[in-house]
């Protein structure tokens, strides 16, 4: 996606909503601006423990981190509700636990033709 941005009097610009959502940038997120090969490159950065400083260059994107955090929060919620299993001493115990939680297969119903 290409768009044109107007630079305001103080050097500020507005990144359109569509570009921000494509890049996974939300309000308050940290971005890195760099001049590379004659271009200005804006890259989303993750904050380390809310400090606002980039953690590492090979971290997850902001959208990936949000999805991971959502999954962790859901897991913690289920754990607090007592919906957890294990720890298991062997893989056999783990497999047995999985099988005990799986729904039982139903036999196929056979439709008989009316006589």
Q: Is residue 107 part of a domain?
A: no
- Whether 9 is in a domain gets the answer no
31 domain-assigned = yes
Beta bridge pairs of residue 40: 35
Strand partners, 90: none
Question: Would you state the pLDDT for residue 64?
Answer: 83
Average confidence (pLDDT) over 49-75: 73
How many C-beta atoms lie closer than 10 Å to residue 9's C-beta? 5
Note whether residue 79 is domain-resident.
yes
Q: Quickly state the pLDDT bin for 48 (edges 50, 70, 90).
A: low
Confirm whether 115 is domain-assigned: no
Answer whether residue 81 is part of any domain.
Answer: yes
Task: Indicate whether 28 belongs to any domain.
Answer: yes
Judge whether 96 lies within some domain.
Answer: yes
Confidence check: pLDDT of 50 > 70: no
How much is the average pLDDT of 80-108?
86
Residue with tokens 């033709």: 113
- Of 19-28, 52-61, 63-72, the range with the highest mean pLDDT is 63-72
Kindly tell me if the per-residue pLDDT of 61 is higher than 50. yes
Percent of the chain with pLDDT over 70: 87
| Domains held by the chain: number | 1
Q: What is the pLDDT of residue 57?
A: 47
Q: Is a pLDDT exceeding 60 seen at residue 93?
A: yes
**Strand residue runs (E) in the chain:** 30-36, 39-45
Handedness of CA 101, 103, 104, 105 (dihedral sign): negative
Number of H helices, E strands in the chain: 3, 2
Domain of 52 in residue numbering reads as 17-64+72-100
């Amino acid at each position: 996606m290409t768009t044109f941005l107007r630079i305001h009097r103080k050097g500020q610009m507005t990144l359109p909503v569509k570009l921000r959502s494509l890049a996974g940038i939300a309000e308050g997120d940290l971005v890195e601006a760099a001049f590379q090969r004659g271009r200005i490159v804006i890259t989303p950065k993750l904050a380390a423990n809310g400090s606002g400083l980039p953690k590492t260059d090979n971290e997850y994107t902001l959208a990936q981190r949000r999805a991971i955090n959502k999954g962790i929060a859901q897991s913690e919620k289920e754990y607090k509700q007592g919906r957890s299993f294990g720890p298991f001493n062997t893989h056999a115990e783990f497999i047995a636990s999985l099988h005990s939680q799986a729904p039982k297969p139903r036999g196929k119903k056979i439709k008989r033709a009316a006589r």
